[in-house]
Amino acid sequence: MTHVLILGAAGMIGARLAMRIAENGTIGGQPVDRLTLADVVEPEAPAIAAAPAALPIETFAADISDPETAERLVCLKPDIIVHLAAIVSGEAEEDFDKGYRVNLEGTLRLLEALRAARHVPRLVFASSIAVYGAPYPERITDEHHLTPLTSYGTQKAICELLIADYSRKGYVDAVGLRLPTIVVRPGKPNKAASGFFSSIIREPLNGEVATLPVPTTVRHWMASPRAAVSFLERAATMDTQPLEGRRNLTMPGISVTVQEQIDTLRELAGQQRVKLIRYQPDERITAIVAGWPRDFNTFRARSLGFAPDRSFTDIVRTYATEEGIRL
Amino acid sequence: MTHVLILGAAGMIGARLAMRIAENGTIGGQPVDRLTLADVVEPEAPAIAAAPAALPIETFAADISDPETAERLVCLKPDIIVHLAAIVSGEAEEDFDKGYRVNLEGTLRLLEALRAARHVPRLVFASSIAVYGAPYPERITDEHHLTPLTSYGTQKAICELLIADYSRKGYVDAVGLRLPTIVVRPGKPNKAASGFFSSIIREPLNGEVATLPVPTTVRHWMASPRAAVSFLERAATMDTQPLEGRRNLTMPGISVTVQEQIDTLRELAGQQRVKLIRYQPDERITAIVAGWPRDFNTFRARSLGFAPDRSFTDIVRTYATEEGIRL
Ligand SMILES: NC(=O)c1ccc[n+]([C@@H]2O[C@H](COP(=O)([O-])OP(=O)(O)OC[C@H]3O[C@@H](n4cnc5c(N)ncnc54)[C@H](O)[C@@H]3O)[C@@H](O)[C@H]2O)c1
Ligand SMILES: NC(=O)c1ccc[n+]([C@@H]2O[C@H](COP(=O)([O-])OP(=O)(O)OC[C@H]3O[C@@H](n4cnc5c(N)ncnc54)[C@H](O)[C@@H]3O)[C@@H](O)[C@H]2O)c1
């Protein structure tokens, strides 16, 4: 039977994964008999109508940058660890120390605790397409070099190298997933430079004004929260033999322009909603976004069974359904 | 005026660089007025006939994995740090802890000490083509991804990411050089899997028997110790602006087969010497070597003024001259 530990379980993706496991009593089709949720802020147990009776859920407040946390969590002998805990891009850039402490040292401590305990679980690590840096070809291949342009991207790229080496040595059985930018991110607008990709859909659907800081020609690589959860489930349960030592995979997304996003909004919710998007050019954000990947060829991940969203229309429909918004 | 600190100054490359700086009183043409040599074993000051009177040389025994070392060395406010201190490939693979402690933590401590002291020297970091892992194209380009197959290669790749991020933030002004395999390595045979590339030349020139563990069709990427020193000098003094944030460069080498090595030996020293090479196939070494790069397109480094050896003949001639061997 399977004990799953989610680190960063109070976050946007972590909470969804926890919910899904609690609802189904499985991860990637595999029965789960224990679920542990940890985050620096104590996660709430998923509030579901009918939890499978047999699935005990524990929640922990645990800071992964604290020297004792990893040891404590590894003692629980989880079979699958989904490691989502991170300081995200903007904050890691502003607070250099904190970014390295959480994103690099936190992961390293976890790996070291596993090695010391000689406990070898499946580890799913959430990496990011921020490991790539401009200039790149129009479509980035699986063999393109990693030249991150942020501390966040650097920390993710380093963790990718670490999980590959620790896996090669047999200390862990890890898979790293370079997640696309997750759109539509539910909840309040945040200060991430990428926030507008979500807010130009989310805010108008809520009847609120959204600001678009970049030209509509901007193209970017996106996946839905639902797709992200399905990637994590697959990585948690896949056979890692076919990875042949290359433990990190760029996840399939869809390559969408802001214009296509807006057209989809118009199609599904009407021109009145589109009018709520105000174009306010922001040179700083436009410059940042110019350094982001636009499109990938994710041959490896696809051949290993990772499937992208079908369309941006599909992403918006699912978002609306999940949030109880009628289109 | 310029104060140069060499870390790993007792090593093969470090000692040569120290000697060259002491002889010329310059590094990359730039006058040096102070030279500090550090290594875990106290380095000897270069024994040169006529040292430029004005160049004081200090030597230190210092373990870079010791928490206090970096701070102590940074206090000396060197203008240029050439960081060569490392646990090499074979040992880092056998002693996982030691490899990470010296090659990763040691470098990280140095970067952190610089950041804390707000002292921003040029840092030249010796990386390696071990950051690459098979499979690769026949000629590896500057945009090829890093998938190291050893802990040593992983540690070097991580340090490359770190020096790039610390440089981007303005905490250091670093250049990382992926050195080719250095051939002909002087001195005693060592246990490195790559040792035979040197020993099949060095031992016969000394009238001794050498063992060749791989077929003569094996092709590899090589540079002379003299070229390595010239790369370090250039990196120590170059304008880093044109690097445009990509701080790590694959150094130009020459792509040579074992057969070409042997032909060169025959040409320069005769068939009698070649007869001292005994082919003793070793499956383990052949398998390791099969994972090594064979050839590179080093466009970036060449356009930045890094020049390779002219030929393998040239490499052997220089080796013989330096070692006082008559061909
Ligand atoms: N959302 C995206 O677009 C996206 C894209 C690529 C990669 N990712 C990665 O996926 C993962 C999850 O993303 P998300 O969107 O759910 O982010 P999120 O910010 O919503 O969740 C991250 C969680 O980590 C927790 N955390 C932070 N520091 C911690 C610490 N020291 N100890 C324990 N927990 C800590 C936070 O409290 C938060 O709940 C992250 O690793 C992120 O870098 C996200
Ligand atoms: N020689 C090659 O073929 C080659 C190829 C690629 C990269 N490199 C890199 O170039 C650098 C120099 O190579 P080399 O051939 O001169 O190696 P070397 O082994 O001769 O020298 C390395 C030196 O580092 C010192 N050292 C080890 N641990 C230390 C510690 N904790 N604190 C301080 N010093 C320590 C050693 O004592 C040694 O003198 C190394 O970083 C190596 O990884 C070498």
CB–CB of A144 and B143 under 8 A?
Answer: yes
Kindly state whether residue A300 falls inside one of the protein's structural domains.
Answer: no
CA neighbor of B196 nearest in space, from B289, B287, B127:
B289
The pLDDT value recorded for residue B188 is: 84
pLDDT digits (tens, 9 = 90+) for A198-234: 999 999 999 999 999 999 999 999 999 999 999 999 9
Closest to A198 measured CA to CA, from B308, B290, B158, A190: A190
Please list the active-site residues of A. Answer: 152
Interface residues of chain B, partner chain A, Cβ below 8 Å: 96, 133, 142-149, 151, 154, 157-158, 161-162, 164-165, 168-169, 245-246
Distance between B51 CA and the closest CA of chain A, angstroms: 43
For residues A289 and A243, membership in a common domain is answered with: no
Q: Do B229 and B13 contact (CB within 8 A), yes or no?
A: yes
Q: Two tokens at B326? A: 């008559």
- pLDDT for the residue numbered B52: 58
In A, which residues are within 8 Å of B160 by CB distance? none
- Closest Cα of chain A to B237: distance in Å? 23
Note whether B46 and B142 are same-domain residues.
yes
Angstrom distance (rounded) from CA A25 to CA A36: 13
Nearest to B96 among A142, A157, A169 (CB): A169
B147: which chain A residues are within 8 Å (Cβ-Cβ)?
164, 245-246
The CATH number that applies at residue A284 is 3.90.25.10
Residues A159 and A275 grouped into a single domain: no
* Same domain for A24 and A129: yes
- The single-letter code of the amino acid at B61 is A
Residue A75 in contact with residue A117, Cβ under 8 Å?
yes
Based on the domain organization, do A47 and A111 belong to the same domain?
Answer: yes
The closest alpha carbon to B184, from B320, B16, B325, belongs to B320
Residue A301 lies in a domain: no
Comparing alpha-carbon positions, the chain A residue that sits nearest to B246 is A147
Domain-located, residue B188: no
Q: Two tokens at B41? A: 């074993």
Buried b (16+ CB within 10 A) or exposed e, A138-160: eebeebbbbbbbbbbbbbbbbbb
CA distance B319 to B268: 12
Structural domain count, chain B: 2
Is the peptide bond prior to A184 cis by the omega test (within 30 degrees of 0)?
Answer: yes
Q: Please indicate, yes or no, if residue A238 is contained in any of the structural domains.
A: yes
ipTM score = 0.96
Taking an 8 Å cut-off on Cβ atoms, the answer to whether A161 and B145 are in contact is no
Residue A110 maps to a domain: yes
In a domain, A65, yes or no: yes
Q: Are residues A271 and A239 in the same domain?
A: no
What whole-number distance in Å separates Cα of residue B63 and Cα of residue B83?
13
Residue A323 has pLDDT above 80, yes or no: yes
User: Do A211 and A162 fall into the same domain?
Assistant: no
Segment (H or E) for A300: helix A299-303
Same-domain status, B166 and B275? no
Cβ pair B169:A246 closer than 8 A: no
> A75-94: per-residue pLDDT in tens?
999 999 999 999 998 899 99
A156: which 2 tokens?
């993710």
- Name the residue of B87, B104, B128, B202 whose CB sits within 8 Å of the most ligand 2 atoms, as the mutation to test its pocket: B128
Please work out whether the CB of residue A218 comes within 6 Å of at least one atom of ligand 1: no
- CA-to-CA distance for A276 and A292, rounded, in angstroms? 26
Question: A110 alpha carbon to ligand 2 midpoint, in Å?
Answer: 29
The partner residue sitting opposite B146, judged by closest CB among A146, A154, A168, is A146
What is the sign, positive or negative, of the torsion defined by CA atoms of B116, B120, B122, B127? positive
Return the residue of A nearest to B95 by Cα: A169
Distance of CA A108 to the CA centre of its chain: 19
| Contact status, residue B254 vs residue B222, Cβ threshold 8 Å | yes
Nearest residue to A40 via CA among A124, A92, A94, A106: A106
- In the reported structure, the alpha carbon of residue B11 is separated from the centroid of ligand 2 by a whole-number distance in angstroms of 6
Distance from the CA of B294 to the center of ligand 1, in angstroms? Answer: 40
What gap in Å lies between CA B289 and CA B193, rounded to an integer? Answer: 8
List the single best residue of B161, B167, B247, B300 to mutate versus A (max A Cβ within 10 A): B161
Mean pLDDT of all residues belonging to chain A: 95
A234 and A306 Cβ atoms separated by less than 8 Å? yes
Q: How many CB atoms lie within 10 A of CB B310?
A: 13
Do both B8 and B92 map to the same domain? yes
Residue A283 lies in a domain: yes
pLDDT of A51 above 70: no
Task: Give the per-residue pLDDT at A223.
Answer: 98
Expressed as residue numbers, the domain containing A98 is 2-179+224-250
Chain A residue with the nearest C-alpha to that of B145: A145
**CATH number for the domain harbouring residue A116:** 3.40.50.720
Residues 6 or more apart whose Cβ sits within 8 Å of residue B249: B142, B175, B176, B177, B178, B235, B243, B298, B300, B301, B304, B306
Q: How far is CA B253 from the centre of its chain?
A: 12
Domain match, B102 and B30 both: yes
- CB proximity list for B23: less than 8 A, separation 6 or greater: B46, B48, B51
Instruction: Tell me which residues of chain B have a pLDDT lower than 50.
Output: none
Report yes or no on A233 lying in a domain. Answer: yes
CB A215 within 8 A of CB A288: no
Answer yes or no: is the C-beta of A84 below 6 A from any ligand 1 atom.
yes
Same domain, A229 and A284: no
Alpha-carbon gap, residue B258 to B133, rounded angstroms: 21
Q: Are residues B159 and B16 in the same domain?
A: yes
Q: What is the pLDDT of residues B182-237, one digit of tens each?
A: 999 998 877 778 999 999 999 999 999 999 999 999 999 999 999 999 999 999 99
